[in-house]
Structure 1
C-alpha cells in the first residue's frame, strides 16, 4: 500500500475497521492492518496456488479473516485465461504491456478458469457485506472490471482504495480516468492520490456524503499526476503545465 493507514485514519476519523480486499496475493498488508485496528478482512484471491500460503500467513495475525478463491469476472461463469508471470505479483487476467518492460517479466503459464461476478458469488455463498465499508483493490489493471462485478453491492462501500495506472501497464487495463468517471457516477470522489515513477500507484475514493471535497487535496493530486506525466515524456511538459494551471484556475473560479 502506497497510502498509509495511519495517515488515512488521521484524515478520516470514521475510517472503517472492516475491509473487503480484492487481490490478496500473500496478504502483504496484514501486518499494517493488524497494527492499525483493522478487525475483519474478507480476502479474495484468484490464483489457487497462493491460497494455502495465504491461509498460513494469516494465522500469524489477530484479524478475523475470511479467504475466498475467486477469479473475478465482469461476466458470470465465463471462461477466463489467467496469465501467470515469473514475477508472480504481475500475474493477471490481462496480458502484460508496459509492466513487462518495467519488471522484466514474462508469462510462464496460462490457466483456464471459470470467472465469477462478486455479487452472484456472494449471494450464492451467503457472504454479507453490511459492515464492510472499505474496499481495497489490487488486481493488476482489472480494478474497474471487479468493481462492476459487484453490481448493487457497491452501494455498501464508503471508501475504495484502488491501485491505479496512468499508462497501459496491461493491455486494456483500467486507467485512472476510467476509475474517476465511473466512480464519480456512483457518488465517489478521489480524495488521495499517490503515483510512483513507474506510472502506477494508489488512490482513495470517498463517498461525497462522507466528507467534503478538499480544494488543497485536489490540487496536490493533480500536481502529482501531472509531474509523472512530465517525467514520462518531456515533450508533454507544456501540456501538463497548462492542464495543471487550468485545474487551479477553474477550481478558484468555481
Structure 2
C-alpha cells in the first residue's frame, strides 16, 4: 500500500516498514532518521563510541548539532566554495569543529569537472547523473566548476589536521566513495567506523555501489554493522546509509 505523508510518497510493506519512494531532498535526512529510530533504534548511536569524525562531503554541515551533542571533534571537508563559506559560518560557534576546502579523490592534483546541483548543492558530484532522476526527478546540475583533487591524507596534512584524533569517517560524496577510499588506504585502518551513503543501482554514471564499497572495505577488516534504506525507486534499487565497523 502506498501512502502520502508530509515530505513524500511511501510504501508500507507487509512487515510495517515504510519505504520512501519520492521525497524532496531537503526532507530526506530528517525523515530517514525519524523512520530508522522508530523501526530499528537510533542509527547514530555509534557516535557514542567515537572520539571524532572526518566528514567528507560536508555541504553546509547539516549534522553539526548532532556531532556537537556528542561532544565530538569534527573535520568537515567540502569542495564547493559557496557551500564551504556557508559551512564555515555555520560552525563558527563550535570550537571543536573545523572546515577544510578540498575535493577528495584517489590522487593529488587531478583536475575534475565538478557539477553543482540545484538543490543547495546536496546532489553535486564529479559524476554525471544517471538513474538518480528516478527518485528525485527535479534535481539537475546548474553549473560546472573545475577543482583539483587531493587524497584524504594530503588534505589533512595541508590543513594541519591530525587524523589520529578521529576514529570515524563519514562519506557523502555522491558516487565517488571508492575514489575517496582508495586515496585513503594508508590511513583507513586507523578508523573504527566508516559510514557511507550509497545506492545499489547506477544513480550516478559509473558510481560506487553498495556492493563495491562493501567488497573494498572487507579487505581492510571492516564489516557491515547496519544498513538503513531511506529511498527506493519504483523500478528497483534503493539508497542506503551503511555503517561499517573494523573488527
Deviation readout 1:166-202 (Å, 9 max, x if unpaired): 1111001110100111000110000100112331120
Match of 1:77 in 2: 109
Deviation readout 1:21-73 (Å, 9 max, x if unpaired): 111101111122222x232100000111111111111134x451121100112
Do the aligned partners of residues 32 and 203 (structure 1) sit closer, same or farther apart at CA in structure 2, a change above 3 Å counting?
Answer: same
> Is there any run of 5+ residues in structure 1 with no aligned partner, and where?
209-254
Higher relative contact order (CA 8 A, sep 6+): 2
Match of 1:244 in 2: none
Given the alignment, which residue of 50, 66, 69 partners 2:98?
Answer: 66
Given the alignment, which residue of 205, 217, 221 partners 2:244?
Answer: 205
Q: How many Å separate the matches in 1 of 2:172 and 2:55?
A: 8
Deviation readout 1:126-145 (Å, 9 max, x if unpaired): 32111210111111111121
Contact 1:94/1:142, CA 8 A, preserved across alignment: yes
Q: How many Å separate the matches in 2 of 1:142 and 1:13?
A: 24
Q: How many Å separate the matches in 1 of 2:44 and 2:111?
A: 40
- Mapping 1:1-254, distance limit 5 Å: 2=32, 7=42, 15-35=49-69, 37-60=70-93, 62-87=94-119, 88-103=121-136, 104-198=138-232, 199-208=238-247
Identify the structure with the greater helix proportion.
1
> Is there any run of 5+ residues in structure 2 with no aligned partner, and where?
1-28, 233-237
Deviation readout 1:109-158 (Å, 9 max, x if unpaired): 11111111122232344321112101111111111211111131112101
Identify the structure with the greater strand proportion.
2
Q: How many Å separate the matches in 2 of 1:89 and 1:179?
A: 21
| Residue correspondences, number | 205
